[in-house]
Amino acid sequence: MIPNLFLLIYTASDYAFSNNSLIYKHDKKEIQKAFIWTILITLSLTFDLLTSLTGLLSVTIYTVILLGLTFLKSRSNSKGWYISSELINVGLALAFTIPLSGWISSNSYLQPPFVNYLLGLTVISVVFTDIFRRLEYIPTKSGDSDGNFERILLFVFVMALQWHYIALTLAGMIVYRLIRYRKFSKMWLISPAVGIFFSLLWLLLMRSNII
């Protein structure tokens, strides 16, 4: 199982605590938030690795490059640049992860299964929210708190194979939306569908030790 620590650092810092889509629009406030959270998230997830030369060098180099790539995101808001930039960041994370996977597994306080669980939780919530923004399913400035909460619950219950809680989550979110919004939106279907499908896929990947 690959300890995707660097990928978790990237997704958590650039998606969970700042609006990634606004970074592409050169929103200086969001860029500054991304810089700050990149450093804070990195330190919180790797502090025990910094006591060795290998950890200190790898984490420092990765963080500097990640900050540079975050700044470069703001050079364009085109969909082509969005896809290219995100793929570059994923490739960078894997370039650090794969050669160091054995070392990270032995030295990090975060064990690979937990790291990959957190990564899946981050992707299903805030990363998909950013994808929905780019597809214009939700407004660019939307935090999508309802959808995030729904998909997080679905991920947790799917990973635990608690099907009755999945059904309760779906029913509860429908009732909640009917009371709060009343007017139907396609996101009422897209959000839970994505949540269940991705969670099942992630469960399969983790149980197969592919990630």
How does DSSP assign 111-164, residue by residue? Answer: -HHHHHHHHHHHIIIIIHHHHHHHTTSS-TT---HHHHHHHHHHHHHHHTT-HH
- What spatial distance separates the first Cα and last Cα of the chain, rounded to whole Å? 5
Strands (E), the chain: none
Q: Which domain holds residue 104?
A: 1-110
- The answer to whether residue 87 sits within a structural domain is yes
- The answer to whether residue 35 sits within a structural domain is yes
The encoded tokens of residue 78 equal 């085109």
Q: Which of 88, 80, 92, 70 lies closest to 7, judged by CA? A: 92
**What is the per-residue pLDDT across 164-186, written as a single tens digit (0 to 9) for each?**
999 999 999 999 999 998 888 89
- The answer to whether residue 142 sits within a structural domain is no
Q: Tally the domains of the chain.
A: 1
Cα 173 from chain centre: 22
- The answer to whether residue 77 sits within a structural domain is yes
- The answer to whether residue 196 sits within a structural domain is no
142: pLDDT confidence band, cut at 50, 70 and 90? confident
- The answer to whether residue 36 sits within a structural domain is yes
Q: What is the pTM of this model?
A: 0.93
pLDDT for 55 equals 95
**What is the per-residue pLDDT across 42-95, written as a single tens digit (0 to 9) for each?**
999 999 999 999 999 999 999 999 999 999 998 888 989 999 999 999 999 999
- The answer to whether residue 21 sits within a structural domain is yes
- The answer to whether residue 46 sits within a structural domain is yes
- The answer to whether 104 and 6 have CB atoms below 8 angstroms apart is no
| Other beta carbons within 10 Å of 201 | 13
User: Residues 182-190: contacts with CB within 8 Å, 24+ apart?
Assistant: 186/137, 187/132, 187/137, 187/138, 187/147, 190/132, 190/137
